[in-house]
Structures are given as C-alpha cells and as structure tokens.
Amino acid sequence: MSSGEGRHARQLLIPDWDQSRISAATIVLAGMGALGNEVAKNLALLGVGRLVVCDRDTVATSNLSRSVLFAPDDVGAPKAVAAARALGRLAPSTAVSARVGELSNAVGVGELADADAVLGCLDSRHARLSLLGRCARAGAPLIDGGTHPWGGEVRVRLSPDEACYCCSLTPGQRAEADAPLSCDPAGAPQPASIISTALVAGWMTTAATQLLLGRPVGWRFLQIEALSGRTAPITVRRDDGCRFHQRPDSVDQLELGGSATVRELLDTLPEDSEPLVWTMFPVPGICYHCGHESVPANIRGGSLVSCPNCREIVHLDLTQRLREAPPDATLSELGVAPEEIIPVRSSSGGYRWLRIAA
C-alpha cells in the first residue's frame, strides 16, 4: 500500500469509491474567501490531484474566524497565495496553482474547459454571472455556492439544456448585477459565520465528488436551511430569455504563450479580422482640456491619466479591440489569462474562437 493509499484508507472503504479518479482530477476554485477556504480544504483532504485557486483580494483579520487556511501571519498576503501555502502543508500530494487577480484575467476559458469541475465561491451576483458566462462558454461543469446567516444555496449547472443560476433571477436582479456592487448596495459587511460556510461547502464538495466519481448528481438547486433542519432541492424553470444556454463553439488552437506580444498574435490572423479580449484596456487619446493630441495610455493602469502637457486628469476611452493595443504589449500585460479563448470577428461578421495555448 502506498502512502497515498494509507492516507485515504478509510474513504477507500466506501462502496464504489475510486480514488484514482479523484487524484487524477483538476478543479478550479473561483474565490478564496471563507467558502473557498472550506471547499479547498475538503477537496485537498479528499486527495484531488490539482486545484487552481483564484482570488484578487488579500487576507483581512475579519477573515480569520471563517477561513481554515489563513493564519494571523497571512493578513495582508494575497488570499490565493496564503491558501496554496496552507494546502501544501495539509495535503502535499495535491498540486495547487495560485492565481492572484480577477478570474477573467487569471484563469482562461480553456482552463475551465479542461477542468473536471469549476466551483464558484463568490460573494456577489456580478461575479457569479461572470463565472457562469465563462463556464457556459467553456462547457465546464459549474457548482456555485452562496451562504446566508443560517444556511445557503448550491446550484449545479452541467448542461446548457438545464436551468441555470441566471434563470432563477428576476429581470431586475439581472440588471442590478451589471452594476459593480456586491449583495449589499450600502457596502456594509454581510452577516456570516463558519456554520453556514461549512454546511454549504459540505454540499458543494458532495456534488463535486459525485462528478469526479462519474456518478449522477441528484439535484441542481439545493436550499440549505439550518434552523429548520430543512435542506432540499428546489425546482428552477429554464428561462427562454436567459443568455447562458448556448453550446460551446468549436475552438482553434494557437500555439502562443502568455508572453507573446499583440504583434505576434496579429501576424497569425487575416488583416481584416478583429480579435477581441474579455477585459477592456485604455487607448491613447486627445486631452479635452488643452487639446494635446497624444495622451499616452498605461494598459494596466485604468482609464484616468494625467495629461503630460497640462497635467489635468483625462478620461481615456476603453476598448476590447486588440488592434488598438500597443503592438509590443504582451497578451498577459493586457490581462489575457493563460489558456484564454478569445473571439475573432471576421470581415463577414461571423466569429471564430481562438485558444491561445502556452
């Protein structure tokens, strides 16, 4: 018996358990807050082979009461990095890749497509819908969790034919999600404790494990109510107006790394094609205070810059058009994630999908 088998001896006794499927699996975790911590801990202890953990934030003191992977020394460190460090001690055979940044800049759609499951541990509707859109594009199985003070919800999306999280929202809620705010418009902290975090994480891990073992997941939307002791699946009807039910398009592979430049990418494409990226970047513009004609853009610096001539603040235009980017900028400088899949519009108006492989 190898040490790996010794470590998992008890779960190997579970009827029809197949540890080889678990240890061969890759799971992407979006969000390394309290819920992400708890889910990552469970998956690593189960012996999942590889975890990609993504979060843009740093550890705060208020995270410590709900986050098993963070210690007081981690305050101020990127959550993804601190979590990867703790997971390395907890389960050395699990390979962990830490990604610091927004999911759309840090984990490419191609990586989501390659993963055995994607677990959403996010705390805003906007971030959830963005993850749902990327998983729909990738055709990736998505298990999304959310907590409330005494329970929460888990939503499983395995096929474009099934109802999704967005189907469960009212038109007003969908429109609200376009504004960059969290569940609480006032920005006040949401009430939360490790209790609902652990409950929801347990159900998310159960669904993920069933997927990894190649077994059906018996529910799609689960409501967890700790105080009444009631936890049950609910039915959500598919909304014909929901935009997340397209089938993934076929994708062409392009062997360029993240260190490739815009010019290198454009050189592979017809001149009249229009390649686009998922996140906007600023383009040089004219100063509307003094008329200075070439206010330079810092591609990672946002749209507000100081005019080099009059020093006034200028609001530059943002674009997703790669042809407007500095030719020598690298794709990763522009925020293109590793293994990203980008749309390329042809002169006839049709789209082709291109995976930029490392």
- Residues at the site binding Zn ion, with contacts judged by CB under 5 A: 164, 166-167, 242, 244, 287, 289-290, 292, 307, 309-310
Residue number, 9 or 310, with CB nearest to Zn ion: 310
Query: Residue 234 CB, nearest distance to Zn ion (Å)?
Result: 15
The torsion angles phi and psi of 263, rounded to 5 degrees, stand at -60, -45
Q: How far is the CB of 159 from Zn ion (least distance, A)?
A: 11
Comparing CA positions, the residue from 51, 50, 46 lying closest to residue 4 is: 46
What is the closest distance, in whole angstroms, from the C-beta atom of residue 291 to Zn ion in the complex? 7
Residue whose CB is less far from Zn ion, 24 or 304? 304
Say if CB 203 and CB 197 are below 8 A apart: no
| C-beta of 156 vs 307, nearer to Zn ion | 307
Query: What are the CA-CA distances from residue 220 to residues 157, 162, 168 (Å)?
Result: 7, 9, 12
* φ, ψ at 230 (rounded to 5°): -100, 120
CA distance 57 to 80: 8
Q: How far is the CB of 241 from Zn ion (least distance, A)?
A: 9
Cβ nearer to Zn ion, comparing 100 with 283: 283
Say if residues 104 and 134 touch (Cβ distance below 8 Å). yes
Within 49-204, strands assigned E span 50-55, 95-100, 117-120, 142-148, 151-157
**Which tokens go with 206?**
């159960």
Q: Which is nearer to Zn ion, 66 or 157 (CB)?
A: 157
- Minimum distance from residue 306 beta carbon to Zn ion (Å): 9
CB of 288 to Zn ion, least distance (A): 8
Residue with smaller CB distance to Zn ion, 123 or 239: 239
